[in-house]
Amino acid sequence: MNSEYVAERIEAMNPVTSTSPHKVEQAWAAFSATQFAPGRSASARRITLLGRQWSRLGLASTLALTASFAGIGIAAAAELLSPAPVTNLAVAHCYTLDQIGSNGTDVAEAGTPGSVAQVNNALGTCQMLWRDGFLAAGAPRAIHVTGPITVHSVPSLVVCTMTNGTAGVFPGDDTTCRTLGLHDALLSSSSK
Amino acid sequence: MKANSSRTKEAAKRQSFEAFFRVNYNRLEQYVGRRVSRAQVDDVVAATFVVAWRKFDLVEQASLPWLFRIASFEVKSSYRTTRRYGYALSSEVLEGMANTVDEIFDTEPLRHAMAELSDVDQEILRLVHWDELTRSEIAEVLELAVSAVNMRYHRAIARLEQRLIPTTTPHKENTDE
């Protein structure tokens, strides 16, 4: 036996089969959906640019909806749709369903209380918990992860202001807060 | 203005990453498929691309060896998850190897001899013979000099050969008798 023969045998043992031609397309679609989801970036942008709260999408949809409600109560519609400040910055809640109830987990992470960072961190912290597998769709509480952390897909998340003034981070899109009867989260620039 | 410029830059990054993703997906999937069980391949590939996307604008030129290097960490992480430490071939991967038994040489001893090699030796043999990377590409994956890659490869194959000698000459004892 010599090295060339051994090398040849190693190559003959190569365990890989060919990849299906559609696999790349599917994989790219899945990757784009998790990394570049429009709802996700829009909600992130809304939170990031708190000084300029309205994203284009938010502004357009708000104007359209406000107009449709004009005849039956502009004031009520505006009140319902306008972003509201997060007043309780000590704690936030990461939900695992787009429902208010006992799902998900509280977070009280870094960020000076009363700062924009606290709400930004609520979104970031919840994203991290999803990514690291501590949260999954419908989980009633944070999942106890044993062993090393692996990367999981993160759904599109949106931050709403809860009725008690805390930030609630829900899986969903620009319509989720409204659907739940909540305001989109707004932190006034004066509290930065 | 600044926001527009930032959006344009982001769009260009995405476009460039998409091309990189499409060109390298198959090779990465195969690389990962040679190192983890079938059930874990998609997760490890996806995790690798997530990390690659985050680091995409930090590298001068994203390349296949760069992607493999990221994947090597994800593979290790996957092993830790499944409580298999190091690069030792999992039994499922061993089972997945093409079983091209012929009359002259049974692959079984080779499989096990390979699994008994050190992590570094196994990895270098896989990179050369399965992933078909050039020596300079392997040097990039392992962050070694090309000369070191050559030396390690020759040592690895010599060690494998050594391990195979007793198992491939089972009839020697009979002839001595």
Q: What is the pLDDT of residues A80-106, one digit of tens each?
A: 567 787 777 667 788 988 888 777 877
Which of A79-83, A186-190, B34-38, B155-159 has the least mean pLDDT? A186-190
Residue A162 inside a domain? The answer is yes
Residue A32 inside a domain? The answer is no
| Beta carbons within 10 angstroms of residue B16's beta carbon | 13
Task: Give the CA radius of gyration of chain A.
Answer: 22
Put simply, whether the predicted model's pTM sits higher than 0.95 gets the answer no
Q: Do the Cβ atoms of B110 and A24 come within 8 Å?
A: no
Q: Do the Cβ atoms of B77 and A148 come within 8 Å?
A: yes
Look at residue A57 in the predicted model and tell me its pLDDT.
Answer: 44
Q: Do the Cβ atoms of A16 and B49 come within 8 Å?
A: no
Mean of all residue pLDDT scores within chain B: 78
Residue type (1 letter), B147:
S
* Owning domain of residue A106: 37-191
Q: Do the Cβ atoms of B98 and A12 come within 8 Å?
A: yes
Look at residue A192 in the predicted model and tell me its pLDDT.
Answer: 34
Among A159, A157, A129, A155, smallest CA distance to A144 is for A129
CA-nearest residue of chain A to B155?
Answer: A3
A76 part of contact set with chain B, CB < 8 Å: no
Chain A CB contacts of B22 below 8 Å: 24, 28
Look at residue A113 in the predicted model and tell me its pLDDT.
Answer: 42
Q: How far is CA B73 from the centre of its chain?
A: 11
Whether A190 has a pLDDT exceeding 90, the answer reads no
Q: Do the Cβ atoms of B164 and A35 come within 8 Å?
A: no
A72 part of contact set with chain B, CB < 8 Å: no
Among A155, A187, A190, smallest CA distance to A83 is for A187
**Chains A and B: how many Cβ contacts under 8 Å?**
102
Structural domains of chain A, count: 1
**Mean pLDDT to the nearest integer, A52-60:** 42
Q: Where are the domains of chain B?
A: 1-84, 97-170
Look at residue B147 in the predicted model and tell me its pLDDT.
Answer: 93
Does domain B97-170 sit in CATH 3.40.50.620?
no
Whether the CA torsion A190, A192, B2, B4 is positive or negative: it is: negative
Task: Give chain A as a DSSP string.
Answer: --HHHHHHHHHHT----PPPTTHHHHHHHHHHHHHS-HHHHHHHHHHHTGGG---HHHHHHHHHHHHHTHHHHHHHHHHHHS-EE----S-EEE-SSSSSSS-SEEE--SS-TTSHHHHHHHHHHHHHHHHTTS--TT-SS-----SS--------EEEEE-TTS-EEEEES-TTHHHHTT-EEEE--GGG-
Residue A83 inside a domain? The answer is yes
Q: How confident is the model at residue B1 (pLDDT cuts 50, 70, 90)?
A: low
The answer to whether B21 touches B49, Cβ cutoff 8 Å, is: yes
Q: How confident is the model at residue A135 (pLDDT cuts 50, 70, 90)?
A: confident
The tokens for B88 are 């030792």
Topology of domain B1-84, per CATH?
Answer: Rna Polymerase Sigma Factor; Chain: A (1.10.1740)
Residue A79 inside a domain? The answer is yes
What tens digit of pLDDT does each residue of A22-53 get? 788 888 888 888 787 655 444 433 333 333 33
| Relative orientation angle of helices B38-55 and A23-35, to the nearest 10 degrees | 50
